[in-house]
Structure 1
Amino acid sequence: MTEACAPTVNTGLRGVTVASTKISDVIGDQGKLIYRGFLVSDLAKNTCFEEIVHLLLFEKLPTAEELTALKQKLTAERAVPDALIEALKTRPADALPMDILQAAVPMLANHDSDVTDTSQEAALRMAIRLVAKLPTVLAAWERIRKGLAPVSPDPELDHSANFLYMLFGKPADSETVRFFDTGLVLHAEHSFNASTFAAREVASTRAHMYAAVSAAIGSLSGELHGGANVRVMRMLLDIGSPDKAEAYVNRVLDEGKKIMGLGHAVYKTDDPRAHILAPMSKRAGELAGDTRWYEISKILEEKGKKAFKERKGTDIYVNVDFYSASLYYSMGIPVDLYSPLFAISRVAGWTAHVIEEQFAGAAPKPMLYRPESKYIGEYCGPEECRFVPMDQR
């Protein structure tokens, strides 16, 4: 093969367009995130998570009647099979929560007769069930690993309020519910990120919804994707107090390391979601009686940006994980649940992408993902290896 005909090798597929989508767009140089034409900043201020689920799955913001109908469907699907709860009780208490969540998805599939129905209507039903049930699974696991009985869903509570109730065993205050719900809105979708690409790749094989979502959760479990806010919170805990934040910035940069939560693969300006989360983090700290995690974050952002500019001559920007970490911590949510929280929000986006991949792709028929690779291994001869029997090796 001549050099001119050789395939282009792109690390991480960055800059490679693999499909068309109507679901969302990230305009990195302008710091904009769009869900089906709407700026996420507008959606975060004016909608609830259930409205976002409707927007992503049904391609439009709901009317009052449509929102009520969707809430009723979600409420009706919250309960999980008793067999799944019993299976969770057999898991070791120190099991990784993302592994638990991923393992629960095929168990849910085992109890869903729609997995053999290849229609779009069945895919939508499965999507709604996953959005409704994953929070129940996660809340149940948090209580089971602590030796507590799972709390049954409360049909009188909306999606976010119900999750916090199942998690803590008591109703959360209205401000905390609103902050949590806004967090779900902000994390619901982000175009062709790693986990969404994983879901679409699996969906392209015509696997069912649960298989695609299970793959997406596996992708999200990596520290470079869904685990980023966990690393941010561990950094904040390591610093401990605001008076140590500036010294931490200098030490980390002196060592050539990164400040967690600064920098993004797509955005060339601040992540628009970070500006929404920051004041919520501050207020959640006030409600908890401890604002130091927000204060440390603010110093890290300001000093980190300044120091990076002085040392590298380029700007660096804050991402969504930077303030979501302190927000969730101030709510009393365990650090190792941050990635699963990401998943119970992003499942709305994943399922929308699965449906688009299988039923509304850009091509007349969705294509099976099959990228090329460039072999760089060695050959024994000019074209291929000559097999040598074992007694002659």
Structure 2
Amino acid sequence: MHDEDPGPGSLGRRLSTKEAAELLGVKPETVYAYVSRGRLGSRRTPGGRGSTFDAGEVEALARRNRREAEGTPRPGAELSVRTRLTSIDGDRYYFRGVDAVELAGRHSYEEVAEWLWTGRLRPGAVFTAPAEALEAAVRAVDALPEHTGTTDRLRVAAAAAAAVDPLRFDLSEEGVLGTARTLIPTFVGALPPRRHGRRDVEGSLARRLWGRLSDRPADEARLHVLDTALGLLADHDLAASTLAVRVAASARAHAYAAVSAGLGVLEGPLHGAAGRLAHRLLLQVLDLGSAGPVIAEELRAGRRVPGLGHPLYTGEDPRARALFALMEDIPEAAPALDAARDIVDTTARHAPLHANVDLALAAFTVSCGMEPSAGETVFAVARTAGWIAHALEEYGERPLRFRPSGHYVGPEPPQPLPLPE
């Protein structure tokens, strides 16, 4: 992350954690938080347990921090968007002011979605896919190659459902809510079932989704974990995919298209792939019986250990904490939980990073015998509720407000016309 020139004499010089903390004016724990958030790189001390940091990179970060503290905007400064949906305070987060962990633990995903959309609970809410939309989505998804990924399937399902909805351009609150309550069950219904036979289109959304994730029979304990995970993941501030949804909604794209924009960003390896990587990491730890050699290989390859750290939390991700607690009541989940703890404890010797929701979701999908892509599927379906909530908000804002100015750095115009080669 070298986006500024290093200070004089700093090129190639390495700092200890203590020296870096002193230069930045923070605690050593905060230095490791910068590493987990991708704001600072680190390198293990040869033959030791400590880490070292490039002096130039630390100095550049210190200058950025000073400018931000003084209120001087930096190029590419983070965008701030007013929202009534999700707030994050310390290591807790809230949906419309209500503790999201408590809400998801006590209410179904459908009820959590209704709360996000309207600020009102609808006890016993059930989402149903219209027959015409579901049929179109199923036909389109079934025509895709077998190896097609989840986000591709959902994008195709969204396009198919939109094509048969003549009211898709109705951007009124009532119209968008109608789309919301039918698009999510259409997504789930269009996904191929893990067991051959008729697609299950009845019952709670979590129960319908289970058959698309696992070929094992569902029990109430696992369904409760899945339903809670959907609620916990329904929204989480302004992630990259959510921003894409708001940009699309700002251009007055209909809800199907806005959600498709979110799915497009979700497929990026820096956003939606984390759950898949954490799933595979857990399988490796379970196969070897210890996290040590697996973590060592990750660090040796210069990769971040998936499932650890989060830019918005200094401690454990509250979503991970809630899911781990629920899985304690499932005896078959014990090996995956032990492997997850081993990953956290082993990595803590290098950096004080905590589990995030990707690791907790991986522990669940591994313990249920699901495919590595299952976590991505849960995330995409769950986050659709939040995307639509943000689209609803954005439809009430000034249109096309996301229009940054380009900073041209190419050849000075006017240039002569190019000659054919």
TM range, smaller chain = 0.7 to 0.9
Opposite residue 163 of structure 2, the aligned amino acid is: N
- Match for residue 349 of structure 1 among 386, 406, 415: 386
Q: Give distance in 1, aligned partners of 2:215 and 2:139.
A: 19
Aligned residue runs from structure 1 range 369-388, under 5 A: 369-377=402-410, 379=411, 383-388=412-417
Matched, 1:173 2:235: no
Within 2, Cα distance between the matches of 1:291 and 1:357? 43
- Within the candidate set 142, 151, 169, 2:199 is matched to 151
1:21 to 83, 95, 100: 83
Identity within the alignment, %:
28
| 1:82 positional shift | 2.3
Amino acid at match of 1:186: L
**Map of 1:255-294 to 2, 5 A cutoff?**
255-284=301-330, 286-287=331-332, 291-294=334-337
Quickly say closer, same or farther: Cα 1:80–1:333, change in 2 above 3 A.
farther
The TM-score, its normalising length taken from structure 2, stands at 0.77
Q: CA deviation at 1:277?
A: 1.4
The within-5 A match list for 1:174-189 is 174-189=220-235
Question: Gapped runs of 5+ residues in structure 1?
Answer: 1-5, 309-314
Q: Is the aligned partner of 1:247 residue 2:316?
A: no
- Mean Cα displacement is larger for which, 183-192 or 337-346? 337-346
Equivalent position of 1:56 in the other structure: 116
> 1:1-393 maps to which residues of 2 (within 5 A)?
8-10=74-76, 13-14=77-78, 16-17=79-80, 19-27=81-89, 30-60=90-120, 62=121, 66-68=122-124, 70-71=125-126, 74-75=127-128, 77=130, 80-138=133-191, 141-143=192-194, 148-154=196-202, 157-165=203-211, 172-241=218-287, 243-284=289-330, 286-287=331-332, 291-308=334-351, 315-359=352-396, 361=397, 365-377=398-410, 379=411, 383-390=412-419
C-alpha distance in 2 between matches for 1:171 and 1:344 = 21
SS in structure 2 of the partner of residue 333 of structure 1: coil
Choose between structure 1 and 2: higher helix proportion: 1
TM-score, L = length of structure 1: 0.82
Distance 2:111 2:162 in 1: 25
CA distance in 2, matches of 1:79, 1:67: 27
CA apart distance, 1:171: 5.5
SS in 2 for 1:25: strand
**Does the CA contact (< 8 Å) of 2:86 and 2:96 recur in 1?**
yes
Q: Secondary structure at the match of 2:93?
A: strand
Contact 1:80 1:137 in 2 (8 A): no
1:3 corresponds in structure 2 to none
Shift of 1:329: 2.1
**Structure 2 portions without partners, runs of 5+:** 1-71
Q: Which has the higher contact order (CA 8 A, sep 6+)?
A: 1
1:165–1:339 distance in 2 versus 1, CA, 3 Å: closer
Distance in 2, matches of 1:220 and 1:335, equals 16
CA distance change for structure 1 residues 199 and 88 in 2, over 3 Å: closer, same or farther?
same
1:162 Cα deviation (Å)?
2.8
Q: Distance in 1 between matches of 2:136 and 2:174?
A: 27
The letter for the 2-side match of 1:356 is E
- Local SS of the residue matching 1:26: strand
| Contact 1:249–1:259 (CA under 8 A) maintained in structure 2 | yes
The CA deviation at 1:332 is 2.8
3-state SS, counterpart of residue 335 of structure 1: coil
